[in-house]
Amino acid sequence: MTGTGSIGRRLTLLLAGVAAMLSVLSWWMVTGLARQAAERTQDNVLAASVTTIAETLRSEQGEVRLELPYSAFSMLGAISEDRVFYRVATGDTILTGYEDLPVPNEIVSSLGRVVFDTGEYSGEEVRMATVSRLVLAGAQPVPVNVTVAQTRGGVASISAELSQLAAFLSVAFFLVAVSLSAFAARTSLKPLNEIAAAVSRRGPSDLRPLRRAAPTELAPLLTSLNRLMDRLGQSIRSAEDFIAEAAHRIRTPLATVRAQAEIALRSASDDDQKQRLRQMIRAIDESSRSAGQLLDHATVIYRTDDLVRTPVMLSDLVSQTVSGLEPTASMKDIRLDVEALRAKAEVDPVLIENALRNVLDNAIKYSPPETVVKVAMAETNGEVRIAVTDQGPGLGEGPADQLTQRFQRGRNTQGIVGSGLGLTIAKDVLVAHGGRLELETLQGGTGTCATLVLPSS
Amino acid sequence: MRYLLVEDNLELAEAVVNRLALDGHAVDHAACLADAEDCLAAAQYDLILLDVMLPDGDGREFLARSRTRLETPVIVLTARSQVSDRVGALDQGADDYITKPFDFSELEARCRAVLRRRGGEARNEIHLGDAVFDPLAGTLRLGADSIDLRNREIRLLEVFARHKGQILSKSQLMDRLFSYDAEVTENAIEVYVGRLRRRIDGMGVRIETVRGLGYRMEN
C-alpha cells in the first residue's frame, strides 16, 4: 500500500534524530569540559611550581639568590611527559633559565599573583605561569619574575582520550536510545495494530461494532469505524430487501394473471381460445422465471462479492437439492439417480445449492420424459466433481439455439454455450468459489453432462 | 384429503381451490392468519398451503410459532427471491416450498410428494372395478397383485377415476397432465391412454374412446 509512510518508522526516526542530536551535544560538552579540566590542572600545577620557586628567592649580600627545588619540576612531570622551561629574571636581567622564553607583559603590575599566558616556544605551544616577587637587592627591593612553562601535548592527549571515551559513550547512548525508540513506537502503536487485527480476523459479513478498550487517541477512529460498518450493514440489508421485495412485486401479479388464465382455460370451449390461453400461461411462466433468475443472478453477484464460506458436507447438499427437485422430475417420470460421495468443501451453501438446482433444472427441462438424470460425485486431485448427466438432446448447434430461445428470450448474449441465465448463475457461483462449470455433449449426442467442479477442503 | 389454503390473493386462492377440488380434495380457504387459526382449531387438515406475506403477519413466523403443536405438513408459497428465501422457509419447519406463480401440476406433484413422505394415516383409496387404486402410493392392487404405476399414469388414472362416466376431452387431460412449459400434442395423450388401458386390462374397468369428444371411464 502506498501512503504517507509508516507512523512507526517516522516515530522511530524522529526519536533517533533527537537521540543523535543529544549524543553529539553531550560528546561536545564532555570534550570541552575535559579539555578545560586538563588545562585547569596544568595551570594549578604550573602555579604551584612557580610559587615554590618564587619562595626560594632571597637576598644574600645585596644579591638575589635562588635554589631551584627539584619538587618544583617533579610535580610538573606528574601530569605528563611534557617538556618544561623556566626563566627567573629581574627586569631584563636573566638570573637563570631560558633567556628567550616569551614572558607576558602585564606581570609587573600584578605583584604576588600568578599570571598565565599561552605562547609559542621552540616550535611548540606552551602554557606559562609567571609570578613576580619583590626581593631586596641591596637597599632596594627589585621585582623578580619567575616563569615556568610547559608544552601542552599532555593536556591535548588527556583531553583527546577523554573525548574518545565521551564519543564511545555517546555512540552507546545513541544505540540504546534508537532501540528504545523503536520499542516505544511499537508499544504505542500496538492498540492500533490490535484494532486492525480484530477487523481483519472478522468474516466478510460480520459487521457488528468493534467493542474493545482503546486509548483515548484511538477512540474517534474506533467510533467512525463502527459507524461505517453500521452504514455498510444497512446498505447490505436494504439491497437484500430490495431484491426480495422486487421479486415479490413482480411475481405476485403474475401469479394472479396466471390463476385467472387457468380458470379461463377450464371454462373455455373453443380450441383456438384454449391454445391462446395456454400460450399466455407459458409466456407468464417464462417471464416469471426470467424475473426470478435475474433477481437470483443479482443476489448471486452480490453474495459472490463477499463470499461467506462455511464447511459443508456436499453429499448432504446434493441429496437435499435433488430431493427438492424430485416432484418436478416426477411430473415427467424422470428418475433422479444420485451417487453421493462424502466430500467436504468450504462454500456458501445457499449459492452452491442454487447453482446445482439451476443445472438440474436444465437437465430435467430438456430431458425427454421417462429418462434418467444421473448425479454422480467424485473427488480427485483436491477437486470435488458433481456431474449431472441427462439423456437429452445434448448441446448441439440446433438444440443449443432452442435452449437459448426457450430459456432466455432476447437475452442470448450471456456467453455460455446454449444456455441462458441458469447456467450463467451456476458458472458465476462456481468461479467465485474457485471452481468451474464443465459442459459437454455425450458421444453420439445421447445427452449432456454438466459438471460442477469445486476445490475440496 | 382436506387442505387448508392460507392466501390473501383471492383470485389465486380461487384458482387453487378449484384446481385441487378437481382432484377430489376439500379445500378450506383462509385469507389471513387469524382465519387460519380458526380453521385449524375447528378441523383436522392433511396439508396446509401457506403464503408468506399475509395482511396480518409473516407466514413463516406463524409457522415457527405453531410448529410445536402442528403436526400437519406445510408447503410454503412465496413470491420472494429463491436464493435469499429458500433456506429460510425450510429452516422454519416447512416441508416444501413453491415459488409463485406456480404451475398447478407442480403444486399437485409437490403436495403428493409431501403427503407421501409424511406417511400419515390419510388414505384415499379408490375402488376401480375389482381393483383398488391408491393415488398417493401410486399402486393399483388386484387381489394379491400390486402394480406400480408411473407418475403420469397415476395422474391420468386419478382423473378418470374421479370422473367416472364423464367424457374428458384430450385438451382437458392435457392441461391436467402436463405443465405448460412443454409443448405437448394430443398424440401424447393417446399414447398415455393406450398405456393405461393395458395397465387396467382385466380389472373390470375400461377407458372408452368417444369419437370426436374424448375418453370416458366405464365399469
pLDDT one-digit tens code per residue, A95-109: 888 888 887 666 555
Distance from CA of B100 to the nearest CA of A (A): 6
User: What is the distance in angstroms between the CA of the first residue and the CA of the last residue of chain B?
Assistant: 25
Q: Both B38 and B106 in a single domain?
A: yes
- Tell me the CATH number at B196: 1.10.10.10
A62's enclosing H/E stretch is none
Predicted structure pTM score: 0.65
How far apart CA A218 and CA A226 sit, in angstroms, is: 12
Predicted local confidence at residue B5, as pLDDT: 95
Predicted complex ipTM: 0.84
Q: Is A111 exposed, middle or buried (0-12, 13-18, 19+ CB in 10 A)?
A: exposed
Q: Across the interface, do B113 and A326 touch by the CB < 8 Å criterion?
A: yes
Predicted local confidence at residue A3, as pLDDT: 63
Q: Both B100 and B37 in a single domain?
A: yes
Predicted local confidence at residue A108, as pLDDT: 56
Instruction: Single out the residue in B74, B99, B118 at which a domain terminates.
Output: B118
Q: Both B134 and B213 in a single domain?
A: yes
Q: Both B110 and B130 in a single domain?
A: no
Task: Tell me the per-residue pLDDT of A99-151, one tens digit each, with 9 for 90 and over.
Answer: 888 876 665 556 778 888 888 888 888 888 888 888 877 777 888 888 888 88
User: Which of A205, A238, A241, A258 to substitute to test the interface with B, most B CBs within 10 Å?
Assistant: A258
Residue A388: pLDDT band with limits 50, 70, 90: very high
Q: At what angle do helices A349-366 and A421-432 cross, to 10 degrees?
A: 150
Q: Both B9 and B83 in a single domain?
A: yes
Structural domain tally of chain B? 2
User: Which of A330, A365, A367 to substitute to test the interface with B, most B CBs within 10 Å?
Assistant: A330
Average pLDDT, chain A: 82
Q: Where are the beta strands (DSSP E) in chain B?
A: 2-6, 26-30, 47-51, 53-54, 57-58, 74-78, 96-99, 126-128, 131-134, 139-142, 145-148, 167-168, 206-210, 214-218
Coil, strand or helix at A66? coil
Give the domain extent around B161.
126-218
Q: Both B104 and B178 in a single domain?
A: no
Predicted local confidence at residue A116, as pLDDT: 86
Q: A-chain residues within 8 Å CB-CB of B85? A: 244
Q: What angle do CA A228, A233, A234 make, to 5 degrees?
A: 100
CA-based nearest residue in chain B for residue A251: B79
Predicted local confidence at residue A419, as pLDDT: 42
A307's enclosing H/E stretch is none
Nearest to A350 among B12, B87, B110 (CB): B87
- For residue A95, what are the contacts with CB-CB under 8 A and spacing of at least 6? A64, A66, A88, A89, A144
Q: Both B137 and B112 in a single domain?
A: no
Residue A416: pLDDT band with limits 50, 70, 90: very low
Q: B-chain residues within 8 Å CB-CB of A331? A: 105-106, 109, 151-152, 178-179
* A22-26: long-range contacts, CB 8 A cutoff, minimum separation 24: A22/A173, A22/A177, A23/A170, A23/A171, A23/A173, A23/A174, A23/A177, A24/A170, A26/A166, A26/A169, A26/A170, A26/A173
Q: Both B139 and B155 in a single domain?
A: yes
Question: Over the range A204-243, which residues count as b (16 or more CB within 10 Å of their CB) and which as e?
Answer: eeebeeeeeebeeebeeebeeeeeebeeeeeeeeeebeeb
Q: Both B113 and B8 in a single domain?
A: yes
A59's enclosing H/E stretch is strand A58-60
Taking 80 as the threshold, does the pLDDT of residue A204 lie above it? no
More confident residue, A154 or B34: B34
Nearest to B80 among A247, A259, A330 (CB): A247
User: Which of A251, A299, A367, A371 to substitute to test the interface with B, most B CBs within 10 Å?
Assistant: A251
- For residue A113, what are the contacts with CB-CB under 8 A and spacing of at least 6? A131, A132
Nearest to A288 among B14, B81, B101 (CB): B101
How far apart CA A429 and CA A453 sit, in angstroms, is: 11
Task: Tell me the per-residue pLDDT of A46-74, one tens digit each, with 9 for 90 and over.
Answer: 888 888 888 888 887 777 888 888 888 88
Q: Both B107 and B209 in a single domain?
A: no
Q: Both B17 and B110 in a single domain?
A: yes
- For residue A326, what are the contacts with CB-CB under 8 A and spacing of at least 6? A336, B113
More confident residue, B82 or B137: B137
Q: What angle do CA A388, A334, A366 make, to 5 degrees?
A: 60
Mean pLDDT within B90-109: 83
Instruction: Single out the residue in B118, B144, B163 at which a domain terminates.
Output: B118
- Tell me the CATH number at B67: 3.40.50.2300
Q: Both B104 and B199 in a single domain?
A: no
Q: Across the interface, do A354 and B83 touch by the CB < 8 Å criterion?
A: yes
Q: Across the interface, do B106 and A327 touch by the CB < 8 Å criterion?
A: yes
Instruction: Give the sign of the dihedral formed by CA A354, CA A360, CA A363, CA A366.
Output: negative
Q: A-chain residues within 8 Å CB-CB of B19? A: 262
In Å, what is the CA distance from A129 to each residue of A39, A68, A276, A298, B120? Answer: 12, 16, 133, 101, 127
How far apart CA B134 and CA B125 sit, in angstroms, is: 5
Q: Is A104 exposed, middle or buried (0-12, 13-18, 19+ CB in 10 A)?
A: middle
Predicted local confidence at residue A106, as pLDDT: 60
Phi, psi of A67 (to 5 degrees): -120, 135
Q: Where are the beta strands (DSSP E) in A138-264?
A: 140-151
Q: B-chain residues within 8 Å CB-CB of A240? A: 84
Count how many pairs of residues, chain A against chain B, have C-beta atoms within 8 Å. 121
How far apart CA A42 and CA A35 sit, in angstroms, is: 11
Q: Across the interface, do B83 and A259 touch by the CB < 8 Å criterion?
A: no
Instruction: Single out the residue in B67, B102, B118 at which a domain terminates.
Output: B118
